[in-house]
Amino acid sequence: MCLGIPGQIVAITDASRQMAMAEISGVRREVSVVPVAGADLNALIGAWVLIHVGFAMAVIDEAEAAETLEALRGLGEAQETLEAMAEGAKALEDAQ
């Protein structure tokens, strides 16, 4: 299973290599836009894309990006809860 994280393309950093700067939840990272590049790379500026292992894999709309980011936040909170429960269970086990 692959996980694509929504990010917004904010700049083209190297047109010859089809590289762009994407902002993902406030963090900027250079990504390859080869899979989604058209004739005009500048048309991607402002676009939302799904990013996986440094590649913009698909262009998505802003609503889909927001929904996906919210779901990922929910998964993170669920993971934190599960880890806290596991730590609590281990602490009880160690105390016995």
Structurally, how many domains does the chain consist of? 1
Average pLDDT value for residue range 21-47: 94
Give the up-direction half-sphere exposure of residue 35: CA atoms within 13 A in the CB hemisphere. Answer: 13
What percent of the chain has pLDDT above 70?
94
Give residue 1's pLDDT: 56
Nearest to 67 by CA among 12, 6, 1: 6
pLDDT, one tens digit per residue, over 61-90 is 999 999 998 888 888 876 777 677 677 777
CA 88/CA 96 separation, integer angstroms = 13
**Which of 11-20, 26-35, 36-45, 67-76 has the lowest average pLDDT?**
67-76
52 lies in some domain = yes
Does residue 19 belong to any structural domain of this protein?
A: yes
User: Is there a domain that residue 74 lies in?
Assistant: no
Q: What is the pLDDT of residue 3?
A: 79
pLDDT (tens digit, 9 = 90+) per residue, 19-33?
Answer: 999 998 889 999 999
The answer to the question of residue 75 being in a domain is no
| 76 falls within a domain | no
Nearest in space to 45 (alpha carbons), one of 53, 56, 70: 56
List the CATH number of the domain containing 35. 2.30.30.140
Q: Is pLDDT above 70 for 93?
A: yes
In 3-state terms, what secondary structure has residue 1? coil
Is 35 part of any domain? yes
